[in-house]
Structure 1
Amino acid sequence: MRDPKLAFGPDLVKLIAEIDEFKGRWEALKTLSPDRLSALRKVATIESVGSSTRIEGAKLSDAEVEDLLSRAISITAFSTRDEQEVAGYAEAMDLVFEAHVDMRLTENHVRQLHQTLLRHSDKDARHRGSYKTLSNNVVAFDADGRQIGVVFETTAPFDTPREMEALVAWTRKALDEESLHPLIVIAVFVVTFLAIHPFQDANGRLSRVLTTLLLLRAGYAYVPYASLERVIEENKDLYYKALRRTQTTLENETPDWEPWVGFFLRCLKRQKDSLAARLEQERLAEGADANLPALSLEVLKALQANERLTIAQLASITGANRNTLKVRLRELVADGRVKRRGKARATWYSL
């Protein structure tokens, strides 16, 4: 892979500086209690899992994703394709969060994450962790599901191992030598990875998992607390347009990196802006908690320790009268601190 010739205008340079300024302030910013930080990270993870799988066609809402993940330990087999993709993405994200310090970018680690993504999908068992053996060009379909043309021609299966080896080697060298800013290196890696489309399926989801891995390894420690995938989902049309505008120039002598790099940096800015706003909301809520009734504080503490609880369970934990408990729960729901799910006897609560 050739070293990209990159020359960007002041707007993109300013974006990088703004993102790096937030990165540098992160330790000072995360002054919330461990419980609130943990809750913030949980919300971001649910949003990331839901958004990334929906970008690729899954239909589960964030509430359904949250419910599924809360029951995942007791589920032996996931019945639908959407559930399988959600469970696999959540496990891949957990692996990256836990092991990113030791998970250097290698082809073996890329394959390992692909295996994890597809772990629960029997349909994909044959090609988990293996580079593609069939063409997987990006194609367009009509309203009846008939293929009407090739949108983008990806790398041929025969050339995929060589191109992946070159891409991984270039990315590691560029990051180690700091020849380019790490955000630029990550952006170039992602758009090139998606142009190669190395696996038969799950390339989009894997590219977003790898983005998180590379950002964490580059020191952007705040990434788990705000969903980049949510930002991409909200700008899905622009996402595909930016990819195509750069990818269609990759064979040129001087590829046009700016459409994709600009989109990528603007998404990172929105991610950190969203996190800054949530941190401020949490600080205000933390201050307001001092004025809450003691039982309300007990309820919040119980819900921080448990993903979902019924009134009966909360009554058992707090020892409170059920009628008083219902009043406090109504107040917490009205304040937006607690969510109510289900109906009648099946009602349960979560943060």
Structure 2
Amino acid sequence: MKYFDFESLNALVVTPAIMAKMNQIYELRGQQQDSLQKSRVALDRLVNIAKVESTDASNRIEGVYTSDTRLRELVNKKTTPHNRSEAEISGYRDVLELIHEHYQDIPITSNSILGLHKQLFNYTESTWGGHYKDINNTIVNHYKYGSQGVRFTPPPAHMTPELVDSLCHAYNQAIHAGVLSPLLLTGAFVFDFVSIHPFRDGNGRMSRLLMLLTLYQNNFLVGKFVSIEQLIEHTKSAYYERLQQSSTDWMTNGNSYAPFLDYFLSIILQAYRDLNERINITQPQAKSAAELVLNALQRELRPLSKRDLLSLVPEYSQRSIERALLELQNKQQIEKIGRGRATRYRLV
């Protein structure tokens, strides 16, 4: 019978690499505590940008997307969904907002998970929202050029309710006991949830929402300001590879959490590093929007979109960024490449 060993995570060996990443995350979180109480306007902009990026990225991983304009309108609740994809995007937006605002009030239980899943599909005609799967399923990896392969066969449908209850209980007990770092427990919880694959649809999106929920509850709030989902989307191949590596012998409790936890910690560390750069940018300084746009382009060493720059220079509004881009183009310090959605700016 499958069980969840959250007291030792199957005798997990914490490698020097895993320990180094954890130490850096704790260090950056500590350094940023005071900064997060300042520059509220800039930080509020980061929150709004991260909501759009997270909603976009988490759905795009599953092949669900819409145009940039429609995405922003949906996230900002300025329109209603026109099709199935936009209905699913709207559901993700609502659950993400609920977690952002009420994470302390949402217990990690089977009932909470079912309730969040129901909201995820509120705008669709699906009948399975808020219900565990009633048919067996498989976890399929999708690769470039349309190829795909079965990564893992989850437990059968009839075992799902008991497994989710058991997972939640094991996680809550371990958090309360405090024997292992909540970073490790959160990563393991997300991995085991994906492995159970408890729903007919929405498992990946639910896993990323639960990742944010458990991180926030343990005072790792970086996902509010930097899109962790986008970082996962940008490293999707590594994400699937590490999931597969940690899946071996999962049903017989012989799997190693180490490959997935190493990846998970890398993503969280990158998020904190990104936030650290943006907080440094947002500290009071006499720099114009044009100067900060130039700094961002020099630091990133790649062409950037307007959305990228809004995220990297959060203390200035979109109108200010647009004026800065025009000013820098007129001075021939940057140039615009591409058209429409593919428009980017780079140094001359």
TM-score (norm 2): 0.78
How far is 1:308 from its partner? 8.3
Query: Which residue is equivalent to 1:330?
Result: 323
Q: Which has the higher contact order (CA 8 A, sep 6+)?
A: 2
Give 1:281 deviation, angstroms. Answer: 2.6
Identical aligned residues as a percent: 28
How far is the alpha carbon of 1:330 from its aligned partner? 3.3
Q: What's the CA shift string for 1:255-281, capped at 9, x where partnerless? A: 211110100000111111111112223
**Does the residue aligned with 2:151 lie in a helix, a strand or coil?**
strand
Distance 1:17 1:156, change over 3 A: same
3-state DSSP class of the match of 1:188?
helix
Give the match for residue 233 of structure 2.
233
2:128 aligned residue: 127
Instruction: Verify: 1:288 aligned to 2:287, yes or no.
Output: yes
Query: Cα deviation per residue 1:229-277 (whole Å; 9 max; x = unaligned)?
Result: 0110000011011111111231345321111010000011111111111
Match in the other structure for 2:304? none
State the shift of 1:149 in Å. 6.2
Rg larger for: 1
The question of 1:55 aligning with 2:61 is answered yes
Q: What are the residue-to-residue correspondences of 1:26-45 with 2, within 5 Å?
A: 26-30=32-36, 32-45=38-51
- CA shift, 1:74, in A, is 4.5
The answer (yes or no) to whether the contact 1:46–1:62 under 8 Å persists in 2 is no
Give the Cα separation in 2 of the matches to 1:148 and 1:335. Answer: 45
- 1:101 match: secondary structure: helix
Instruction: State the match for 2:112 in structure 1.
Output: 109
Q: Answer yes or no: is the 8 Å Cα contact 1:47–1:62 preserved in 2.
A: no
The SS at the match of 2:134 is coil
- CA deviations 1:103-150 (Å, max 9, x no partner) are 12111111111111111111x2x11111000112124689998x9864
Per-residue deviation at 1:9?
A: 1.1
**Equivalent residue, structure 2, for 1:97:** 100
In 2: Cα distance, 1:17 partner to 1:98 partner: 28
Query: For residues 165 and 333 of structure 1, do their structure 2 counterparts lie closer, same or farther at Cα, with a shift above 3 Å needed?
Result: farther
Given candidates 2, 7, 20, the residue that maps to 2:13 is 7
Distance 1:195 1:175, change over 3 A: same
Counterpart of 1:119, as a letter, is N
**RMSD, matched Cα:** 3.2
61 and 18 in structure 1: CA distance in 2 versus 1, 3 angstrom threshold: farther
1:170-209 paired onto structure 2 within 5 Å? 170-209=170-209
Letter aligned with residue 45 of structure 1: K
Summarize deviations over 1:149-182 as a string: whole Å, max 9, x none: 6432011001111111110100110111112110
CA distance in 2, matches of 1:142, 1:241: 11
Segments of structure 2 that go 5 or more residues without pairing to the other structure are: 292-309, 330-348
Cα displacement (A) at 1:221: 2.6
Match of 1:46 among 52, 56, 63: 52
Aligned-partner Cα distance in 2 for 1:203–1:190: 11
Q: Which moved more, 1:130-139 or 1:61-70?
A: 61-70
Q: Distance in 1 between matches of 2:249 and 2:173?
A: 23
Q: Call closer, same or farther: CA 1:270–1:62 in 2, change over 3 Å.
A: farther
**Residue 213 (str. 1) matches residue 213 (str. 2):** yes
Distance change >3 Å, CA 149–CA 49, structure 1 → 2:
closer
Report the Cα distance in structure 1 between the residues aligned to 2:42 and 2:139, rounded to whole angstroms.
42
Distance 1:262 1:140, change over 3 A: closer
CA contact (8 A) 1:85 1:120 kept: yes
Query: The residue matched to 1:288 in structure 2 has which SS?
Result: coil
Give per-residue Cα distances to partners, 1:73-116, cap 9 Å, x unaligned. 442xx122221121111110100011111112111111111111
Q: Does 1:262 align with 2:262?
A: yes
Asked if residue 136 in structure 1 is aligned to residue 137 in structure 2, the reply is yes
2:52 is aligned with what amino acid? Answer: I
Residue number in structure 2 paired with 1:315 = none
For structure 1, which segment, 10-19 or 24-33, has the greater mean C-alpha deviation from structure 2 after superposition? 24-33
Alpha-carbon distance in structure 2 between the residues aligned to 1:39 and 1:2: 40
Residue type of the alignment partner of 1:42: N
Moved more, 197-206 or 131-140: 131-140
Are the counterparts in 1 of residues 227 and 271 from structure 2 also a CA contact under 8 Å?
yes
CA distance in 2, matches of 1:143, 1:178: 42
Residues in 2 aligned to 1:248 and 1:195: alpha-carbon distance in whole angstroms: 11
Per-residue CA deviation, residues 269-311 of structure 1 (Å, 9 max, x unaligned), is: 1111111112223337x5325999xxxxxxx9xxx9xx989xx
Q: Return the alpha-carbon distance in structure 2 between the equivalents of residues 331 and 167 of structure 1.
A: 51
TM-aligned CA distance change 1:60 to 1:73, over 3 Å: closer
Tell whether the 8 Å contact from 1:131 to 1:160 is kept in structure 2 after alignment: yes
Partner of 1:81: 84
CA spacing shift, 1:141–1:221, aligned 2, 3 Å: closer
- Give 1:61 shift: 5.2
TM-score normalised to structure 1 length: 0.78
3-state DSSP of counterpart to 2:33: helix
3-state secondary structure, aligned to 2:162? helix
What is the identity, as a one-letter code, of the residue corresponding to 1:287? A
- How many Å separate the matches in 2 of 1:267 and 1:148? 24
